[in-house]
């Protein structure tokens, strides 16, 4: 049984990171960009799996496959974050924000707090 697109292996995540960084790449490009790369055929198999999951698509260019992310990075980020919030924070936006604040409280500047406050106020107005 195939994993859902929310459950990527470490290698699958690495490949997606490379594709989002490069925008498009051949299997060889991906293979050479991977840390401690597996065999070339393993990279091809992983790309095939990512295509089955609907995360990657390919086009044929000069008699070779060029792979691209199937979704814009913004959409993929939203889907991954939704899964994270549902799984680890019981769908609590407040819980996620509190955890992020705990992680970075010492790193946030006054300007960061001001921007965050404005964002919260903007979202509050939009819901009404």
In a domain, 81, yes or no: no
Residue 105 has pLDDT above 80, yes or no: no
In a domain, 14, yes or no: yes
pLDDT band for 6, please (50, 70, 90 cuts): low
In a domain, 76, yes or no: no
pLDDT band for 101, please (50, 70, 90 cuts): confident
Task: Please state, in angstroms and rounded to a whole number, the distance separating the CA atoms of residues 115 and 109.
Answer: 10
Same domain, 64 and 101: no
In a domain, 3, yes or no: no
Question: What's the CATH number where 31 sits?
Answer: 1.10.10.10
Task: Please state, in angstroms and rounded to a whole number, the distance separating the CA atoms of residues 96 and 74.
Answer: 18
Task: Average the pLDDT over 87-106 and give the result.
Answer: 89
Task: Please state, in angstroms and rounded to a whole number, the distance separating the CA atoms of residues 100 and 94.
Answer: 10
Same domain, 58 and 30: yes
Same domain, 60 and 99: no
Same domain, 65 and 100: no
Task: Please state, in angstroms and rounded to a whole number, the distance separating the CA atoms of residues 62 and 100.
Answer: 46
Q: Which of 39-53, 66-80, 104-118 is the most confident on average?
A: 39-53
**Chain segment 22-54, per-residue pLDDT in tens:** 999 999 999 999 999 999 999 999 999 999 999
In a domain, 32, yes or no: yes
Same domain, 56 and 97: no
Which residue is it, tokens 């490069």?
A: 22
Number of domains in the chain: 2
In a domain, 57, yes or no: yes
- Domain around 104: 89-127
Same domain, 15 and 50: yes
The SS3 of residue 107 is helix
């Amino acid at each position: 049984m195939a994993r859902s697109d929310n459950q990527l292996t470490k290698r699958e995540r690495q490949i997606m990171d490379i594709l989002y960084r490069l925008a498009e790449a051949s299997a060889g490009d991906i293979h050479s960009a991977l840390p401690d790369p597996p065999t070339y055929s393993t990279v091809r198999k992983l790309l095939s799996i990512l295509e089955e999951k609907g995360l990657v698509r390919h086009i044929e260019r000069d008699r070779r496959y060029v792979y691209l992310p199937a979704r814009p990075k913004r959409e993929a980020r939203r889907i991954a974050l939704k899964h994270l919030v549902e799984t680890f924070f019981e769908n609590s936006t407040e819980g996620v924000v509190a955890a992020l604040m705990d992680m970075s409280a010492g790193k946030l500047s006054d300007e960061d707090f001001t921007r965050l406050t404005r964002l919260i106020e903007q979202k509050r107005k939009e819901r009404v």
